[in-house]
Amino acid sequence: MGGCAPLRYRVQPPMGWLYLSGTACSHPWGGSTAAECAGMLGAPAHGWNPMRIALSLLLAAVCGAALPAHAQDCHDARAAAEEAYVGRADHVLPDRLGYSRDTAASVCRRWPARPELTLLATPVWRDGGDNDSRDGDVEVMVIDSDTLAPRAWTVLPGALDSDAIFFDGMQLDTARYQLAPGTLAFGLRVQRRNGSGPNPFSEEQLQLLALQAGALRVLGAPIVVRRFQAEWDTRCAGESTEVSRTVAVAPPGRNGLADLVLRERRVSTRSWMDGEDCHDQDTPVDGERRVLRYDGRQYTVPAALQPL
């Protein structure tokens, strides 16, 4: 099964609305497996009580420490990326005029299901623009864990294109997306947000890839697995909506790969001042259940589930 319930922590005034969101395979403190383990152990899904947050972090740390060493081995993504690019053959992700790789923002992870392989993703930015408005791709490589030699690779064009909503980080998702007996997928999660105080917006998208016959294949458009947007007075009063989706692998489907089952949960929050105190009220709603089917080439992702 791929994906677990999201973890959400909200800190209320005097700091205002600060949302730190994560999912089974990515979380704000940088340890994807730890977050997955904490979620499975029942870390709290809502609230800002410091003791609850501390307990969640403790669970995450304990879970991460208990994992096999090979699942945690890619510690220096920048060094791994630079060595992989220097040692690659000329036909492997050749340099492109007008683009610059940002190896300082690379992410990597040894693949727990195949520890002889390591997953590596690197932003590649089109020259020009600034942090708030620039275009970019992601180069994804599967490399040998010992030699760092590339085994397979692909480019996700436009994955980091930014205008008012800009790139805010990415993680590799190694939940067990077993789509067929010989096909195990992994994911790349990309976070994006805007810079508005009164109208904050953020989202996280998941794109699945699979290593098949020595080639790295993109299995469909990115899926938005979390979206938060709000309108408030920057002190307390306002309204927000957060939508989160989990992704699970169904029994084998048509055209060779299993269906993907998406379950949605939506939380609407209203906040108001009462004297000197800020109050809020959450209204959770279980949303739609959707099934994404493989058409023989890719999973068909409706426009409503794709990034803005």
* In the predicted structure, residue 221 carries a pLDDT above the cut 90: yes
Answer yes or no: is pLDDT of 7 > 70.
no
Q: With cut-offs at 50, 70 and 90, classify the pLDDT of residue 131.
A: low
Average pLDDT, stretch 227-236? 95
Query: Is residue 70's pLDDT more than 60?
Result: no
Give SS3 for 295.
Answer: coil
For residues 32-57, give the mean pLDDT: 39
Is residue 261's pLDDT more than 60?
Answer: yes
pLDDT score for 199: 95
Looking at per-residue pLDDT, the higher value among 7 and 255 belongs to: 255
Name the residue with higher pLDDT: 45 or 278.
Answer: 278
Domain ranges of the chain: 71-87+95-149
pLDDT at 252: 79
Give 92-117 pLDDT, tens digit per residue. 999 999 999 999 999 999 999 999 99
Higher pLDDT, 116 or 51: 116
- Listed range (59-63, 172-176, 236-240) with the worst mean pLDDT: 59-63
Contact between 18 and 190 under an 8 Å Cβ cutoff? The reply is: no
Per-residue pLDDT reduced to its tens digit, 279-308: 999 999 888 899 999 999 999 999 999 998
Q: What is the mean pLDDT of residues 224-242?
A: 96
> 134, 162 in Cβ contact below 8 A?
yes
Nearest to 216 by CA among 136, 155, 137: 155
- Sign of CA pseudo-dihedral 6, 142, 138, 223: negative
With pLDDT > 70 as the criterion, what percentage of the chain qualifies? 75
- Residue 32: band (very low, low, confident or very high) from pLDDT cuts 50, 70, 90: very low
Question: How far, in Å, are 138, 179, 248, 259 from residue 253 at the CA level?
Answer: 29, 9, 13, 5
**Residue 78 host element (H or E):** helix 77-87
Band of pLDDT at residue 233, cut at 50, 70 and 90? very high
Question: Is 188 in contact with 138 (CB distance < 8 Å)?
Answer: yes
- Indicate whether 46 pLDDT > 50: no
